[in-house]
Amino acid sequence: MAGHYDAIVVGVGGMGSAAAYHLARRGRRVLGLERFTIPNEMGSSHGVSRIIRLAYFEDPSYVPLLRRAYELWRELEGEYGEQILHITGCLHVGAPGTAVYDGCLRSCAEHHLQHQVLGPAELRERFPAFRMPPGTGAIFESEGGFLVPEKCILAHAAGARAAGADLREGETVLGWEVDGDRVRVHTDRGDHEAERLILTAGAWNGRLFPALAPRLEPERQVLAWLGVSRPDLFQPEAFPVFIMEVPEGMYYGFPLFAGGPPGLKLGRMHHRLEPADPDLLDRDGAGREDEEVLRSFARRYLPDGSGPAQAMKVCMFTNTPDENFLIDLAPGEPRVVLGAGFSGHGFKFCSIVGEILADLATEGSTRHQIGLFRADRW
């Protein structure tokens, strides 16, 4: 046996690194197993910037979790000594009646969030990069911004290791089994035992827990950094992060950022509706069709940021049927904790999801309200 631990975390990306961090800081003996490097570009926890926002159109019940997530990100940033959270404000753009617009207002009203409602002319005057048609509205929240995902993972991993966690790169989990009061994990380097197992392997979670595979669908996603003709319009002080719902789909974007490739970063939710096999996905395979999905949007709504792609990256979403997360004790296996199905909008929650996973692994429950994420909702 390679060793016995209080908890083994499989997958040390955004969620897994945070879980290892919180467990180790509670004095638990933690083993983290990552088949690639920490961090890496093989899964769903990369891409230079990830939106964080407080007014959550998806469901108002996310807002209390986000308040705690902000607290934890700021604590982590202070410990790490480098900026990982950038506040730019966030625009939620869409016509009244769209999910983005109505859902954002609902969250603001239910949780008394400060916000401003802007019409197309007001939006153009304040943020001149945008060209929105009549009938479109926008809700601006000042607390929105973006996280640097690679730094977030490095910060959580460094904190976990400083607290005694053993985080291993290049070790692939082949399987696991519950044996009485312990869980045995088999890898390509040997076996390990623990009191609890936490599965945070992203698009590979369905293979590690096959009973849930039908509810966890990996999907190919592409991000592009487009050339800009007016860089002044896309600086953080003039261009907040945004979520926009228009007839062409739901898009999101970021200001220029010196820490990443040059250009306006854009993505489309569920890019081209392409299921993905995480072991076969071509991470370097973004092409002209992918670029056109994003440039066609930019030409209409952000014309000064619609130049040729300066860089593109392929990643994955892992979607649940309702696009809410899966955070729970595994059905029929209380020694196994699941963190899965983050459906393209989960990274901002890594800090608090790590805390929740640590709660479930040590106490079997959490003070946070996670009923929306229960495994038995299906």
Number of domains in the chain: 2
What range does the domain containing 157 cover? 4-46+150-215+322-377
Per-residue pLDDT band for 354 (boundaries 50, 70, 90) equals very high
Q: With bands split at pLDDT 50, 70 and 90, how would you rate the model's confidence at 198?
A: very high
Quick one: pLDDT at residue 338?
A: 98
- Residue where one domain finishes, among candidates 290, 319, 348: 319
Instruction: Mark which of 300, 319, 338 sits at the end of a domain.
Output: 319
The answer to whether 56 and 33 have CB atoms below 8 angstroms apart is no
Q: Is the pTM here over 0.85, yes or no?
A: yes
Handedness of CA 139, 321, 20, 335 (dihedral sign): positive
Mean pLDDT of the chain: 97
The verdict on 284 and 203 lying in the same domain is no
Asked if residue 264 and residue 133 are part of one domain, the reply reads yes
Categorize the per-residue pLDDT at 2 as very low, low, confident or very high, splitting at 50, 70 and 90. Answer: low
As a whole number, mean pLDDT of residues 266-288 equals 97
Average pLDDT over residues 82-93: 98
Same domain, 302 and 159: no
Q: Is the predicted pLDDT of residue 135 greater than 90, yes or no?
A: yes
Instruction: Specify whether 221 is located in the same domain as 121.
Output: yes
Does pLDDT of 252 surpass 60?
yes
- The DSSP letter of residue 263 is S
- Average pLDDT (101-124) is 97
Whether residues 311 and 230 fall in one domain: yes
Tokens of 376: 């038995």
Answer whether 208's CB lies under 8 Å from 199's CB: yes
Which residues does residue 237 pair with via DSSP β-bridges, in sequence order?
none
Provide the CATH number for the domain around residue 178: 3.50.50.60
* Residues 223 and 364 reside in one and the same domain: no
With a cut of 60, say whether residue 1 has pLDDT above it.
no
